[in-house]
């Protein structure tokens, strides 16, 4: 507020120079308008505090911050440092959870110590039907302390701790009757993807990619709303389209999309829009099979349905210059005419492992460097899915 001395100065200025009076009056009016707006805001906040609505908002915000703090503790340890128990590639009694899940929401969790996975091997086999709802199963390798976001085809989401899913030992056979159902799909929806959440407090965006190449970016500052409403959105424009992947990204990240027919598209996360937008032009029978971020020291590994490995340096991932493009071809047209198709792709380093699910249900673990060197999976028939297991084949390991 203006002091009495300041008001006296304005009056003297107006008396001495009448031509300044109008300007002074306008300044006073503008200031009074600002004060009136602020007074209304304070009044609204006071009413909200009195009826409890503002208090409830603060409580929700505090709960969200506590949740994200818990996620950070799981990733970095209670003292804020990386722990050997939760970080692959370090010495210590580390454990790895390998998840096999399908569209009906069933999840098989296998758990083993990293020392047990120190060499390529067959880990077991899934018996029975492998294509519920006509969809191929998918794989994910995470630490047991991880928190998962379950994304359904309707755009609904829920969360689940990996530790809440009963673990089975490797080396046996399993059926979907032994699997867990953390959240049963509602109505006609399907489980579209699992997203590890412990990096949420360190991320800037949720990025959703649909099968038809639509992309939507959502700020992680809205995570409170997303998690409390159990809804992230479909991220698709067409009714027949559905989510393919959800990723946590940071500013300046590079995003890669790989399609069933071997098209590769690179994008800058900063260039993506907050509304759903189609970013890759696909043929009617093509669809996105993988979407992931690529770090500067990572390369790209793509796997075909017949076990062929396509390896590319990360430098080939140039951001697309146009909004609606076909991307670059990973294999020549002749290979497509012969029936070669892609089942997935990922960013990795040579010390990583590759977990593969074959069409017969066999689950096998391979060293990335071996696959890059040979160019194909050893003794493999048709392939359904694969995922990366970070840093389990370092030079120091036997």
Residue 90 is predicted with a pLDDT of: 41
Residue pLDDT, tens place only, 48-63: 656 655 556 656 666 6
Distance from the Cα of residue 290 to its chain's centroid: 12
Q: Is the pTM of this model over 0.95?
A: no
> What pLDDT does residue 177 have?
92
Q: Name residue, tokens 């590769």.
A: 264
Domains of the chain and CATH, by start:
4-51 (no CATH), 95-150+163-194+251-389 (2.120.10)
Q: Tell me the mean pLDDT in the region 207-233.
A: 93
pLDDT of 260 strictly over 60? yes
Q: How many angstroms separate the Cα of 392 from the Cα of each of 39, 99, 162, 168, 283?
A: 60, 17, 20, 20, 38
Structure tokens of 326? 């076909």
Q: What angle do CA 320, 348, 370 make, to 5 degrees?
A: 125
Average pLDDT over residues 277-284: 92
Is the pLDDT at 19 greater than 90, yes or no?
Answer: no
Question: For the residues of 47-79, what is the DSSP string, one character each?
Answer: HHHHHTHHHHHHHHHHHHHHHHHHHHHHHHTTT
What's the pLDDT at 71?
Answer: 66
CA distance readout (Å), 335 to 151, 244, 283, 305: 34, 25, 16, 12
Task: Flag whether pLDDT at 73 surpasses 80.
Answer: no
Mean pLDDT across the stretch 293-313? 94
Mean pLDDT of the chain: 85
Alpha carbons 121 and 111: distance in angstroms, whole number:
15
The pLDDT, as a whole number, for residue 78 is 54
| 200 token code pair | 């949420």
- What pLDDT is attached to residue 32? 74
């Amino acid at each position: 507020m203006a002091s009495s001395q300041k008001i006296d100065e304005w009056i003297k200025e107006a008396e001495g120079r009448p031509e300044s009076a109008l300007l002074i009056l306008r300044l006073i009016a503008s200031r009074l308008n600002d004060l009136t707006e602020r007074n209304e805001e304070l009044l609204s906040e006071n009413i909200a505090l009195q009826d409890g609505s503002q208090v409830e908002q603060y409580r929700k915000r505090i709960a969200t911050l506590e949740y994200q703090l818990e996620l950070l503790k799981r990733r970095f340890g209670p003292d804020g440092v990386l722990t050997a128990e939760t970080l692959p590639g370090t010495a210590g009694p580390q454990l790895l959870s390998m998840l096999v899940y399908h569209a009906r929401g069933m999840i098989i969790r296998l758990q083993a110590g990293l020392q047990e996975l120190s060499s390529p091997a067959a880990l077991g086999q899934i018996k029975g039907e492998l294509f519920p709802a006509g969809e191929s199963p998918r794989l994910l390798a995470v630490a047991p302390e991880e928190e998962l976001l379950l994304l359904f085809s309707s755009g609904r989401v829920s969360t689940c701790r990996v530790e809440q899913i009963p673990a089975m030992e490797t080396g046996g056979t399993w059926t979907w009757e032994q699997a867990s159902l953390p959240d049963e799909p509602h109505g006609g929806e399907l489980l579209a993807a699992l997203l590890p959440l412990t990096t949420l407090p360190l991320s800037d965006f949720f990025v959703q990619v649909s099968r038809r190449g639509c992309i939507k970016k959502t700020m992680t500052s809205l995570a409170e709303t997303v998690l409390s409403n159990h809804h992230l959105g479909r991220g698709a424009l067409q009714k027949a389209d559905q989510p393919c992947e959800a990723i946590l990204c940071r500013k300046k990240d590079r995003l890669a999309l790989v399609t069933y027919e071997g098209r590769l598209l690179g994008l800058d996360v900063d260039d993506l829009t907050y509304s759903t937008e189609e970013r890759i032009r696909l043929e009617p029978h093509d669809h996105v099979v993988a979407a992931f971020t690529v770090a500067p020291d990572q390369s790209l590994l793509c796997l075909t349905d017949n076990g062929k490995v396509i390896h590319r340096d990360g430098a080939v991932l140039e951001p697309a210059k146009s909004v609606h493009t076909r991307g670059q071809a990973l294999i020549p047209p002749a290979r497509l005419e012969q029936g070669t198709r892609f089942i997935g792709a990922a960013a990795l380093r040579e010390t990583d492992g590759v977990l593969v699910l074959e069409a017969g249900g066999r689950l096998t673990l391979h060293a990335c460097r071996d696959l890059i060197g040979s160019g194909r999976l050893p003794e493999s028939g048709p392939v359904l899915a694969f995922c990366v297991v970070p840093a389990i084949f370092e030079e120091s390991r036997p």
